Amino acid sequence: MATSNGRAMIEVKNVTKSYHRDSIEIPVLRDLSIQVPEGEFLALMGPSGSGKTTLLNLIAGIDRPDRGEVLVGGTDIGTMGESDLAKWRSSHVGFIFQFYNLLPVLTAFENVELPLLLTRLSKGERKARVDLALKLVGLAERMSHYPKQLSGGQEQRVAIARAIVTDPTVLVADEPTGDLDKVSAGEIMELLERLNKEFGKTIVMVTHDPRAASKAHKVMNLDKGELV
Amino acid sequence: MFVVKLVLKNALRHKLRTILTILGIAIAVAAFGFIRTIVTAWSAGVEASAENRMITRHAVSFIFTLPYSYRDQIAGIQGVEEVSYANWFGGNYKDASDWKNFFPRVAVDPDTYFSLYPEYIVPADQLEAFKRERNSCIVGAKLAREQGFKLGDVIPIEGDIFPGKWEFTVRGIYEGKDKTADETQMFFHWNYLNERIKELQPGREGQIGWYVLKVSNATDMTRVARAVDGLYENSRARTKTETEKEFQQSFVSMSSSIITSLKAASYLIIGIILLVLANTIVMAARERMREYAVLKTIGFKKSHIIGLIGGESMMIAIIGGAIGLALTFPAAGALAAAFPTFFPIVNVEPMTIVFASAIALLAGIVAALFPASRAVRMKIADGLRSLG
């Protein structure tokens, strides 16, 4: 069922990452290497503190490795400056968070439009894209609703629309069903599956949910910063 | 445009908090403007002083008098173009405990005084009528409005420095040339005062409170002062001659501790404005750290985050400052109405408006510095973990 074409979209090479709490160094990832082919749907599993989210953050370019390389689409994002990295993220990565992270003062339409505000698209072009993204996630009728007027599943679908509206090459999802009931979680996983199959999006998803992981092509387990 | 839109929406997120903060700033700015207005009203006489006038008074104190005989000698000094004179009369009008009944009553030389004070504009026919009638007076237009004085009215005054019952007929009403001219005074004939004192308290006649000198060249004032004071260096009534501005300033200096306290209070208010706004912006930014992290994740830059936090801070400061400034005017009006003669000139000066606006804007900038710096330096991963 895999749709990947075998070419590596993401390469994590010998990455080490530690965090510092006061003077204590806490190692999170230890000399980790993985490859994710283009079009792959990868699930990262493991106990809390195993380094899943840290690895996801490194792939998404919102954190940097202490050692090693992270290449996405052939670009070494570890060497990019902060401003270039922000620009790179805006066009190459779509983010889906556990708690949706929609801006409560913006409507569904405005939330989805957010990433497009950083592009040179005209207002009309932006509207067309937002309409399409919301239609894709089945919320075209709810575009003028505020997050508090939506259910958890609907909020997550708006978040997915926001993640895909710039047509990024990679989607990263951090426990996208972690805050949802079974039915909503199922709908979200179907949506991600569809984005992977129909639109060829490479997806890296962190999850604790075996049902969600079962939708992925491949599952990697991490423990104490290493693949097991 | 997006930043502006989000700033507006963010500011309205906690409406009560934003409204209370705006009100706090408005009250503080209004208080600042009001205090500055009091300070400038206190110094209004100094500001209204003419560049070419000097005052000669007793060297020891203003309350001691000088002989009338000095007049011709002073007039003879080179550089002195014209000399007039006046006496503070004091006295009480109606109920003296009511501030509204206080106004300056000054005995002047009717022939020369208004020539030296061209800022007091008296219609020619009224000035002539005043000069002709020894117990007549001229009152300021503002005083006339406050007390309802009209031409022909008789103003009864109970004397204190100069005892007895006095009556003055209003023969003229003067207008100020501009808003800095004091329109709350009453002027009457020095000769009338002198004659009655000669009858009532023989020995007190022929005394002058202060001489007013018009000098032909303002740069010549130091020499004129030395020449006048030199004439009476060894007399029983030594003189002190100074510019009108210095003379007025000496009255203000008597209240210097009050003015210093008022200025200190105004600086304290600046601190209050800053604390009120900083508290709100710090709280708002802390609540939204995760949102800033999300925006940064999506690709928004530091400048956008600074714009969001700084914009909200500035917007609240500007609205609060504008309301505060708007409140300053009726507050100053109320002060003028409550103490019309104690504060004869109450104006919200342009500099007060500039200062108050600058303080509000500065508070807006300073209040945003810390939260904006924190949000910009925050690592995205840390921000996403924070509780919103």
pLDDT in tens, A39-79: 999 999 999 889 999 999 999 999 999 999 999 998 999 88
Share of chain B above pLDDT 70, in %: 99
Chain A residues touching B8 at Cβ < 8 A: none
- Cβ contacts (< 8 Å) between B305 and chain A: which residues? none
B149 pLDDT above the threshold of 70: yes
pLDDT tens digit string along B8-34? Answer: 999 999 999 999 999 999 999 999 999
Q: Is the pLDDT of residue A188 over 80?
A: yes
Sequence-separated (6 or more) residues with CB below 8 Å from residue A90: A115, A118, A119, A166, B298, B299
What is the pLDDT, as a whole number, of residue B388? 46
Task: State residue B316's pLDDT score.
Answer: 95
What are the tens digits of pLDDT across the range B319-336? 999 999 999 999 999 988
User: Is A2's pLDDT higher than 60?
Assistant: no
Domains and CATH numbers, chain A: 8-227 (3.40.50.300)
A63–B298: do the CB atoms touch at under 8 Å? no
Other C-beta atoms lying within 10 Å of the C-beta of residue B79: 16
Two tokens, residue B264: 């200190």
Distance (Å, whole) CA B227 – CA B187? 29
HEC-encoded secondary structure of chain A: CCCCCCCEEEEEEEEEEEEEECCEEEEEEEEEEEEEECCCEEEEECCCCCCHHHHHHHHHCCCCCCEEEEEECCEEHHHCCHHHHHHHHHHHEEEECCCCCCCCCCCHHHHHHHHHHHCCCCHHHHHHHHHHHHHHCCCHHHCCCCHHHCCHHHHHHHHHHHHHCCCCCEEEEECCCCCCCHHHHHHHHHHHHHHHHHHCCEEEEECCCHHHHCCCCEEEEEECCEEC
User: Between chains, do B300 and A86 touch, taking CB under 8 Å as contact?
Assistant: yes
The alpha helices in chain B, defined as continuous H runs, are 2-11, 15-42, 44-47, 70-75, 113-116, 124-132, 141-147, 190-200, 221-231, 244-254, 256-287, 289-298, 302-338, 350-377, 380-385
- Give the C-alpha separation, B371 to B283, whole Å: 9
Of A53, A90, A117, nearest to B2 by CB-CB distance is A117
Q: Does A48 touch chain B (CB under 8 A)?
A: no
pLDDT tens digit string along A144-178? 999 999 999 999 999 999 999 999 999 999 999 98
Rounded alpha-carbon distances, angstroms, from residue B188 to A226, B299, B322: 103, 80, 45
The alpha carbon of residue B314 is apart from the nearest alpha carbon of chain A, in Å, by 19
Handedness of CA B200, B154, B134, B120 (dihedral sign): positive
With CA atoms as reference, the chain B residue closest to A53 would be B381
pLDDT at A165: 95
CA distance B46 to B208: 22
Nearest Cα residue to B117 out of B140, B135, B89? B140
Closest residue to A105, CB basis, from B10, B290, B297: B10
Interface contact A103, partner B, CB < 8 A: yes
Residues of chain B with C-beta less than 8 angstroms from the C-beta of A106: 6, 9
Task: Inspect the interface and report whether the beta carbons of A101 and B380 lie closer than 8 Å.
Answer: no
pLDDT exceeds 80 at position B387: no
Q: How many CB pairs under 8 A join A and B?
A: 55
Region A127-152: mean pLDDT is 94
pLDDT of the residue at B249: 84
Question: Do A114 and B6 count as a contact with CB atoms less than 8 A apart?
Answer: no
Residue A3: its pLDDT value, please?
A: 46
What's chain A's Rg over C-alpha atoms? 17
CA of B144 vs chain A CAs: smallest distance (Å): 59
Distances (CA, A) of B78 to A114, B33, B75, B227: 81, 46, 8, 9
Residues B369, B311 contacting (CB under 8 angstroms): no
Mean pLDDT of the region B49-54: 87
User: pLDDT by residue (tens digit) across B218-266?
Assistant: 889 999 999 999 999 999 999 999 999 888 888 777 777 888 898 899 8
Tell me, rounded to whole angstroms, the distance of Cα B323 from its chain centroid. 22
Distance CA B43, CA B39 (A): 6
The A residues from 155 to 174 touching B (CB cutoff 8 Å) are 162
B291, B299, B379: residue with CB nearest A86: B299
Selection from A206, A178, A155, A166 nearest residue A41 by Cα: A206
The Cα-based distances of B146 to A206, B140, B184 in angstroms read 81, 10, 9
| Residue B75 pLDDT exceeds 90 | yes
Q: Do A91 and B299 touch (CB under 8 A)?
A: yes
Percent with pLDDT over 90 in chain B: 72
* Cβ-defined contact of B9 to A97 (cutoff 8 Å): no
Does position A179 have pLDDT exceeding 90, yes or no?
no
CA separation for the pair B77, B97 (Å, rounded): 44
Pair B33, B200: CB distance under 8 Å: no
* Chain A environment of B291 (Cβ under 8 Å): 101, 103
Owner of token pair 């924070």: B386
**Residue A157 distance to chain B (closest CA, Å):** 16
Q: How would residue B3 be classed by pLDDT, with cut points 50, 70 and 90? A: confident
Among chain A residues, CA nearest to B291:
A103
User: For residue B308, what pLDDT is reported?
Assistant: 94
The Cα of B317 is separated from the nearest Cα of chain A by a number of Å equal to 21
A91: left (phi over 0), alpha (psi -120 to 50) or beta: alpha
**Residue type present at position B15:** K
